[in-house]
Structure 1
Amino acid sequence: MFFAGDIGGTKVNLALCEVHDGRITTQFLRRYSSAQFGSLSDVLVRYVKEIGPLSGKIEGTCFGVPGPVLNGRCHTVNLPWTPDSAEIARDLAQVVEAGPVQLINDLEATAYGIGLLQKSGQGLSILRAATGAIGHRANQALLAPGTGLGEAMLLWDGIRHVISPSEGGHADFGPQDEEQIELLRWLWPRHKHVSWEHVASGPALHRLYRFLKETGRETEPAELAEALAQPGVDASPVIAAMAIRGQYPICVRAFDLWLFFVGAEAGNLALKSLSLGGIFIGGGIIPNVLELFRRPAFFAGLDSKGRMSSVVAGMPVYGIVDPLTALYGAAFSAAHSHGVLHGFR
C-alpha cells in the first residue's frame, strides 16, 4: 500500500493506493481546500486522523507538488507552503508509519499518470487524431492550465519515456499580432515580467476578460458585472461557464483568446521537444470545458508556427479528463521507487 497525493494551488487530493497486476486502485480518497491549511503536513496529519487505523502497512509515500523540487524541498509559486520531504516524514511519523517520503513536481506526477491512462485506454479524449503511424513511442508534451501553468516533457529514450519537469509556464510571453502587443502593454505595469502563465492559466481567463473590458474592445453587461462582483466569486469559472453557453460576447471572446494562448504555448512546448508522440492538455479546468478545446481558436494558436506549422499540425492532441491522473502518477512513482512497478512503458 502506498500513500499518494496531488497537491495544487487550490486543492489537495489524497488517497491510499494499491497495486494489482500493474494497475493502481485508490481507497480513502479525500479532497481538501489548500487555502484552509498552513502547510502540507497539516493536511496530511488531518487525513491520517480522519481515515483512522489502517489494516495494512504503507510501503512508501509520494506527493506531486506545484513547483520545482530541489533536494527534497519544493519552492511553490502559487501556494504559501514550502514542502520538505524530511520535515513531512518527521511530521507523519507522529501519526503513522508512512515509509520513505518522496516529493516530485506535480506535472511530473501527471506525466507518469498519462502512461497509466494510455495503458488502460481510459481517461483521455482525442482532440486531434494522429496523421502518421508513429504512435506513443516518441516524445510527448504536457501542458496543464490550472492555478498556474504547468509543463513537462516525456522524452522517449528508445525503451521508455523519461519525464523532464519544466517551469516553462514562467517563460516570457510572446505576442503574435497587434491586439496581443496591446495586451502585453496592458500587462506590463501590472506584472513587470509577463509570462505565459499570465495569459494561459486558470486565473488568466479573468485577466483577459478585464483587458477586453478596460480597453473598450468588448462591453460588460450590467448583470454580468454584478455577478462577478459578488463576494467570494471566482470569476474565471463563471466566465468559462458563460462562454460554454455562448451567453455573452465578452465571455466568448475572452475564452477564445485564452484558448489561443493555451494552444500557442502547447505548440511552443511541442516544438521544443518535437513531440511527435502527442500533445496532452491537462489541468483541473479541462474536463469541464473539453468541448471548447475543439474550437478553431485553440488549434489556431497551436499550429501557428510559421515554417514548422505543418510539423505541429501532424501531432495528435489529447485532453486529460480523469481528475485523478496526477494522483495515479504519484502512486506510480512511490511504487516504482519501492520496486513494485518497473519501467514507465
Structure 2
Amino acid sequence: MGIVIESPSKRAVRNQLYLGVDVGGTNVRAAAYPLRHENVEGAQAFTTSLKANDYPSLKDALVEVMEIAESIGVRNRITGMGFGIAGPLDGSKVKLTNHAGWKEIDLNELAQEFGVKVGGLNDLEATSWGIVSGLKASDVEVLQKGKPDFLGDEAIIAPGTGLGEGRIIERKYPRPSEGGHSDFAPKGEEQKALLSYLEELYGEGKVTYEDVLSGQGLVDIAYFLAKLNGEEYDEGLGFDQGMSTEVLATKIAKQARTGTHQLSMNAMNIYTDVLAQEASNLAVKEKATGGIYLGGTTKHDLPFILGKRSRFLHIFQAKRKPQGFLPNVPLAVITKDDINQLGAAYFIGHKPVKISV
C-alpha cells in the first residue's frame, strides 16, 4: 500500500505537472505529466533517465531532474512527485531492496526539500496504477487473448534487477506483493540441477523465483550451463570480470535474441520457461480472470518469447487443476516504456489516504 504526503506549500499553480519517478536498483527514470481535472494525462512534458550509482542519494538525483525541468521552463509547474520504489514502505520511509548504496528513502524529507506533494509506493504497485490509468492496444503485445472477465482481478509479474509481483482488484485497486521471494519450484531435471547450483550460492532451501527471474538470475543460469558443459562462459564473448550484472544480463539476452551464442540461447530458454511457470502460478493464486501482465524487462525479451510463443503458452497452461481455467486467462506483455512513471504520477491524485507534514 502506498502513501501520499501533502505539500508543505499551498501555492496556486496553473497547468500543473506531476512528476512520476521510477526508482530501481540501477536507474532513476523520471517523467512529468500534465494534470487535468485531477487526472494525469499520458502526454509527457519531459522525461529523463539517470544512473542511480552516479548519485549519493535519491535527493541528489532529483536535484538534477529539477534542474532539467528548470532549463525547459517547467520547474514551477511541478506540484507533485510520485515514486515507484523497489522496496517495502514503512510509514513515510522506504527501505530499498536492490540498491547497494541507497538504503532508505524518507518521503517526508523529499516533500520538505522540494515543497511539493509526494507519494510513494512499491514499484510493482506503480506499474499497476499505470495499468489502471488506461493502456492502449499499442501499449501491450497480446500473447493469449483468452476470455477476459471485465470485472475480474488482474495480476502482474515483472523481472528486472529483482522480481516484482502484484495484483489489481476488480481492475481498479492495485495491491503490492512480495511474491517474487517465494520458493523456486523447479520442473524437470535441468531445473532441478539449476536449483542445486543456486543453493550452493544462496543456501539450501533459500532459492526464490527472484534468484532465477532477474538480471542476476539470467547471469547465474548462463554460468550454471557453462559449468555443466565444462566451459568458461567468459571466453570469446568480450566479457570481463569488471562488468556489472546489468551489462552481463543485457549481453546474454541480446545474444539470445540474435541467435549469436548457443549457451545464451539455452540460458534464455530456461529463463522464459520459468517465467511462464511463475506467471501460471500467479494466475491461479490470484484467480486473475481479468488477465496477467508481464512487465519489467520482459518487453526487451519479447522477440525471443514470440519466437517460442507456443512453448511459452503450453507451459503457462500446463496445470492439472483447475481444468480449462488458464487457456481463458488473457496474457500480455507491457511494451509502454514509461508505465511505472505514469503510474506513480497517476497514483498521487487517486490515493485517498493522506498525511500532512
Residues 154-303 of structure 1: pairs in structure 2 closer than 5 A? 154-156=168-170, 160-192=171-203, 193-216=206-229, 220=233, 222-224=235-237, 227-229=238-240, 231-232=242-243, 234-283=247-296, 285-294=297-306, 295=308, 296-303=310-317
CA distance in 2, matches of 1:47, 1:189: 42
Aligned length: 325
Give the match for residue 133 of structure 2.
116
CA distance in 2, matches of 1:256, 1:138: 31
CA distance in 1, matches of 2:250, 2:150: 33
Give the match for residue 77 of structure 1.
97
CA distance in 1, matches of 2:165, 2:248: 24
Superposed CA RMSD in Å reads 2.2
CA distance in 2, matches of 1:316, 1:218: 40
Structure 1, gaps ≥5 residues long: 340-345
CA contact (8 A) 2:276 2:316 kept: yes
Residues 101-148 of structure 1: CA deviation (Å, up to 9, x unaligned):
111111111011112343x43311111111x2x344311110001000
Q: Which amino acid aligns with 2:164?
A: G
Q: 2:56 aligns with which of 38, 46, 49?
A: 38
Q: Is the alpha carbon distance of 1:203 and 1:324 closer, same or farther for their aligned partners in structure 2, counting shifts above 3 Å?
A: same
CA contact (8 A) 1:260 1:299 kept: no
Q: Is the alpha carbon distance of 1:139 and 1:114 closer, same or farther for their aligned partners in structure 2, counting shifts above 3 Å?
A: same
| TM-score using structure 2 length | 0.84
Query: What is the DSSP-based 3-state SS (H/G/I as helix, E as strand, rest coil) of the residue aligned with 1:26?
Result: coil
Q: Which amino acid aligns with 2:252?
A: I
Residues 240-272 of structure 1: CA deviation (Å, up to 9, x unaligned):
111112222211111010001111111111111
Q: Which amino acid aligns with 2:299?
A: P
CA distance in 1, matches of 2:77, 2:119: 17
CA contact (8 A) 1:89 1:101 kept: yes
CA distance in 2, matches of 1:188, 1:221: 22
Distance apart, 1:287 and its partner CA: 2.7
Distance apart, 1:300 and its partner CA: 4.0
Q: Is the alpha carbon distance of 1:247 and 1:309 closer, same or farther for their aligned partners in structure 2, counting shifts above 3 Å?
A: farther
Q: 2:331 aligns with which of 288, 306, 317?
A: 317
Distance apart, 1:196 and its partner CA: 0.3
Distance apart, 1:85 and its partner CA: 0.8
Structure 2, gaps ≥5 residues long: 1-16
Q: Which amino acid aligns with 1:162?
A: Y
CA distance in 2, matches of 1:46, 1:137: 42
Give the match for residue 17 of structure 1.
33
Distance apart, 1:174 and its partner CA: 0.9
CA distance in 2, matches of 1:196, 1:317: 19
Give the match for residue 342 of structure 1.
none
Give the match for residue 27 of structure 1.
45
Distance apart, 1:62 and its partner CA: 1.1
CA distance in 1, matches of 2:234, 2:27: 32
Residues 123-182 of structure 1: CA deviation (Å, up to 9, x unaligned):
11111111x2x34431111000100001111111xxx52111011111111112222221
Distance apart, 1:335 and its partner CA: 2.3
CA contact (8 A) 1:267 1:312 kept: yes
Give the match for residue 88 of structure 1.
110
Residues 70-121 of structure 1: CA deviation (Å, up to 9, x unaligned):
21211111113211211222332xxxx32x2111111111011112343x43
Q: Is the alpha carbon distance of 1:230 and 1:189 closer, same or farther for their aligned partners in structure 2, counting shifts above 3 Å?
A: closer
Give the match for residue 51 of structure 1.
69
Q: Is the alpha carbon distance of 1:321 and 1:279 closer, same or farther for their aligned partners in structure 2, counting shifts above 3 Å?
A: same
Q: Which amino acid aligns with 2:329?
A: M
Q: 1:2 aligns with which of 4, 18, 31?
A: 18
Distance apart, 1:218 and its partner CA: 7.4
| TM-score using structure 1 length | 0.87
Query: What is the DSSP-based 3-state SS (H/G/I as helix, E as strand, rest coil) of the residue aligned with 1:241?
Result: helix
CA distance in 2, matches of 1:64, 1:244: 29
